[in-house]
Amino acid sequence: MNKTITFGQVPSNAIVGCATTALTVEEKAWFQSMRPVGLILFARNINTPQQVADLVDEFKLITNNQYALILIDQEGGRVSRLPSPHWRIPPSPTEFAKLYQVSPDAAVRACKLNYQLIGADLKRVGVNVNCAPMLDIPQANASRVVTDRALGNTPGSVIALAQATVAGLQLSGVEPVIKHGPGHGRGTTDSHKTLPIVDADLNTLAAWDFLPFEHFKNQSMLMTAHILYTAIDNTYPGTLSPKVVNEVIRNQIGFDGLIMTDDIDMHALSGTTAEKATQALHAGCDLVLQCSGNIEDLWALEPALTPLSGKALTRTEIAASKASASFQDIDDSALLSELDSLLSGEEGRL
């Protein structure tokens, strides 16, 4: 079990993006002044392994935080930020869901191997948090933003494969973020573009959508969903709703770890960057995620930010402790060989 770290100079309650493969002069000044607790990386920030490691080290140095949370969305399939030829493009999570229909044991083993390999890729360049697994259970009419990435279409499949995802990442010293709480699977539109509205009643949501989140309620980090759940709060989307964050995620589901927003500037939410961030924090989120990498957006976010304190600080320190777990290098070729055999079905014929 990891010993909980304590931040030296307390960072602020934000995880942010940057513009390119190295920090600009303006970004360095902002990071040094505001000291966000984390950095999230996208394809625009990634070129070579050495370049990514240098970028991570520079962010930690500028913010004076060796325990900074360094995030990425490396799910596999179309959500793969690490490009070839320097990295393997992992299979989509849907591949493991398909295999689960045929052989649950093979799917679970393959999924664990896959995310152990992903975790190794991340940890080698200093990335210590992966925004996975996605626990959303898609309905028949769900948006492709969920269906293209789902670990299955039943609670059982999602829970089993998400457990394998978590285990694989943690074997490589990378801490997972479960998402998108309390469930994005009924959203029929893409929250990057517009606000999904879910009209299912609370009993239906509790009996299906919430189940994976309840199973993983002891994980260290959760990302919210920008969805209007009319049965819970017909005014504010989940990320901005005290009812969703406190009554559902905290109390009904029982999650007491770190809650971060999904990207606060996605088009599902309305208002200025500072207004949305402030409302999310007042709703009960611990950290605000702002991903654009535009310096103007960071300046716009600034009025909402404060140094971490109270439970939010404690939860963040626990997450950072787990994300600082050591990594013992692995034999990639052996794990890849077994993974390929499982996905091709050869393992079962041996």
Number of H helices and number of E strands within the chain? 14, 11
Phi, psi of 10 (to 5 degrees): -65, 125
From the candidates 262, 263, 265, 286, which is the catalytic residue? 262
In the chain, which ranges are continuous DSSP H helix? Answer: 25-34, 49-63, 93-102, 104-124, 144-147, 155-171, 202-207, 211-215, 242, 273-283, 295-301, 310-323, 332-344, 346-349
What tokens were used for 247? 């009554």
Q: Quote the CA–CA distance of 181 and 175 in Å, as a whole number.
A: 17
Q: Quote the CA–CA distance of 238 and 259 in Å, as a whole number.
A: 12
From the candidates 148, 192, 256, 297, which is the catalytic residue? 192
Residue with tokens 């493969």: 21
Residue 226 annotated as catalytic: no
Residue 54 annotated as catalytic: no
- CB 126 within 8 Å of CB 53: yes
Kindly state the greatest CA–CA separation across the chain: 61
- CB 261 within 8 Å of CB 289: yes
What tokens were used for 218? 């002891």
The upper half-sphere exposure of residue 78, i.e. CA atoms within 13 Å in the direction of its Cβ, equals 8
- CB 320 within 8 Å of CB 258: no
User: What phi-psi label fits residue 24: left (phi over 0), alpha (psi between -120 and 50 degrees) or beta?
Assistant: beta
Bridge partner residues of 222 (DSSP): 178, 259
- The residues that are catalytic are 192, 262
